[in-house]
Structure 1
Amino acid sequence: MKKIIAFGASSSETSINKQLATYAANQFENTTIEILDLNDYEMPIFSIDKEKNGIPQLAHDFYNKIGTADLIIISLAEHNGVYSTAFKNIFDWTSRVNMKVFQDKPMFLLATSPGTRGGSTVLEIAKNRFPFQGGIVKGSFSLPSFGENFDAEKGIINEELKNEFLKIVASIQM
């Protein structure tokens, strides 16, 4: 059975991106799903000086966890147009374990926000950056206005957006 590793790239306990990543993972059939919480990988703020003391075990743990995936689903929180600090720090530390953080794994990249742009700026950054870190981006989707377009029970409730999303899911071969 294929394995999906999914997470919201945010440390918020009520992360809308974690909700979207979980919803997305559950759209794939015949898979096992593991939802990661970035709070389980909290490390000191990355710096060259701190790296002299060694790479934290949590960076190795995160890297190893990614290695178990047949598909990685990340829904990116957008903080001032870029990755959340929590995700960026994990990403930076893990890149010191291996620059190919995503280990040539297929990825489905998502983003959402309360606003009408739906995290589209950070999503574009990730789509362009992650291939350099060993990510094979198979699809991407931005969900604007999360509060209006997503329901905790039903998922994406805007029919046009849901159809667009499901077409992308169907196109991703595992």
Structure 2
Amino acid sequence: MSDPILLSLSGSLRQSATNRKLLREAARLFDPGTHIEADLNLPLYDGDLEDGEGIPAAVQTLADQIAQAHAVIISTPEYNKGPSGVLKNALDWVSRTEGRPWAEKPVAVMSAAAGRAGGERAQMVLRGYMVPFQPRILQGPEIHLANSSKEFDEHGKLTSDRYESSLRTLMGKLRVEAGF
């Protein structure tokens, strides 16, 4: 059997975002495997755009990556008590593609945020957003990285053994769920 393909979706577009760092740490702990970082820099969903031009190529690429991945990890910041608009927009667009790329896909969700709850509310809302897609979302351990800007060293590695241990456990469960 070949190495698994792990796709990560960051709810933040910033390259140095703590959600991206968290996903990279998750991929490191998931290894071995091929890690692909999805590009969520998509046009805003617009039914007129879809009707006139069809599904944008970047959206179809994302849907294809989801379909081809053995497992998906998603990390979102918390904006106004919910996931980022970037992430919601990507989910909305992918829902418009042919097939069901999320169906039965093993998925682990996590969050990194500046606040003391670490994006817990955003993660709860995200889990609700995923229900219509029918993936296999792991139930834990939950990763809510609070005060996230202080949780990584200069190389992007988690500095807390507690967070790393929980993330290692979650990635181990995701490997098993993906059949590896």
**For 1:70 and 1:111, how far apart are their aligned partners in 2?**
21
2:80 aligned residue: 80
More RCO (CA 8 Å, sep 6+): 2
Q: Deviations over 1:36-85 (max 9, x none)?
A: 2323xx22x22333332122222211101111100101111222122222
Higher strand share: 1
Q: Deviations over 1:8-45 (max 9, x none)?
A: 12222322111111110110132111122323xx22x2
Q: Which residue identity does 2:110 align to in structure 1?
A: L
Equivalent positions of 1:140-155 (< 5 A) are: 140-153=142-155, 155=157
Task: Tell me, yes or no, if the aligned pair for 1:9 and 1:76 is still in contact at 8 Å.
Answer: yes
**For 2:49 and 2:34, how far apart are their aligned partners in 1?**
36
- Structure 1 unaligned segments of length 5 or more: list them: none
C-alpha displacement at 1:105, in angstroms? 0.8
TM-score after normalising by structure 2 = 0.84
Q: Are residues 1:46 and 2:45 paired?
A: yes
Q: Which range is displaced more, 98-107 or 54-63?
A: 98-107
**For 2:111 and 2:122, how far apart are their aligned partners in 1?**
8
Pick one of 27, 33, 36 that aligns with 1:34.
36
Q: Which residue identity does 1:71 align to in structure 2?
A: A
**For 2:100 and 2:80, how far apart are their aligned partners in 1?**
26
What fraction of aligned residue pairs are identical, expressed as a percent?
Answer: 22
TM-score after normalising by structure 1 = 0.86
**For 1:59 and 1:11, how far apart are their aligned partners in 2?**
15
2:5 aligned residue: 3
- Structure 2 unaligned segments of length 5 or more: list them: none
